[in-house]
Amino acid sequence: MTQLLIGTIVESEYELAKDVVKKAFQNAEHSDGKEHELIGKIRKSLTYNAELEVVAKTESGKILGHAMMSEVSVDSDDENNVVLALAPVSVLPEVQNRGIGKALIEALEYRAYENGYIGVVVLGHAEYYKKLGYKPASEFNIYPPFDVPDENFMFKYVFEHPTKEVKGTVHYPEAFQ
Ligand SMILES: CC(C)(COP(=O)(O)OP(=O)(O)OC[C@H]1O[C@@H](n2cnc3c(N)ncnc32)[C@H](O)[C@@H]1OP(=O)(O)O)[C@@H](O)C(=O)NCCC(=O)NCCS
């Protein structure tokens, strides 16, 4: 494959990225077919940070993948902490399993770290995210606000030695409702 470029999405790429997302989820096991709508809602939210929305492109500018992170809160009786949710992640079916998903996610994790975020929650394929260092969130005393198999709701600290631990129930903003 030619060189893969990962960069912040620009508005002129919104439509092309939407096609990639739709195609990626077309035959996905767990999909409501509305992932592109979620992206649109997150972009409109007050805490949207364009740096946390990336696309993977070929040198000629063809978009092969898209991923984004956005703020959610982890709330306990004692405190509320902001972390990021990774959703959605999309790679065109014809180029899946070539490391593009991994490259997108690692780029976002680095940006999360650079922006001072503590960690990332994700709801998804347990085996896939395990390879990227995610563990069941329950191991960190972090819980989803909905009923989901324990292994599919995962968390990862973006710092190797986190100075702060978060625990509690994750609350998703309105965009996710
Ligand atoms: C899931 C997805 C983003 C992964 O992207 P990708 O570029 O195909 O994956 P990568 O090449 O980075 O991943 C490589 C590794 O993950 C494994 N993998 C890929 N998809 C997987 C899945 N659904 N379940 C378990 N493992 C998976 C590959 O076998 C590969 O393993 P290896 O490193 O041991 O060879 C992509 O397949 C996709 O867009 N799927 C449809 C939409 C979707 O389900 N999105 C995720 C919602 S949680």
d(CA 53, CA 55): 7
CA 125 – ligand 1 centroid, Å: 8
**Neighbouring C-alpha atoms within 13 Å toward the C-beta of 57:** 16
Atom of ligand 1 nearest to the CA of 65: 39
User: Is the predicted pLDDT of residue 105 greater than 60, yes or no?
Assistant: yes
Q: Which residues line ligand 1 (CB under 6 A)?
A: 24-25, 28, 88-91, 96-102, 124-125, 127-128, 131
**pLDDT for position 1:** 57
DSSP 13-36: GHHHHHHHHHHHHHT-SS--S-HH
pLDDT higher than 80, residue 2: no
Identify the pLDDT of residue 142.
98
The two three-digit tokens of residue 94, written as one number: 């014809």
Per-residue pLDDT at 30 exceeds 90: no
Tokens of 60: 């000629």
> How confident is the model over 62-90, as pLDDT tens digits?
999 999 999 999 999 999 999 999 999 99
The pick from 6, 97, 120 for probing ligand 1's pocket by mutation, whose C-beta has the most ligand atoms within 8 angstroms, reads 97
Could you list the beta-strand ranges (E) of the chain.
5-8, 53-57, 63-75, 80-91, 119-123, 135-136, 142-143, 153-157, 168-171
Q: Map out the domains of the chain with their CATH numbers.
A: 5-176 (3.40.630.30)
How high is the pLDDT of residue 115? 96
**What confidence tier does 53 reach under pLDDT thresholds 50, 70, 90?**
very high
Residue in 150, 158, 153, 111 with CA at minimum distance from that of residue 129 = 153
Q: What is the CA radius of gyration of the chain?
A: 16
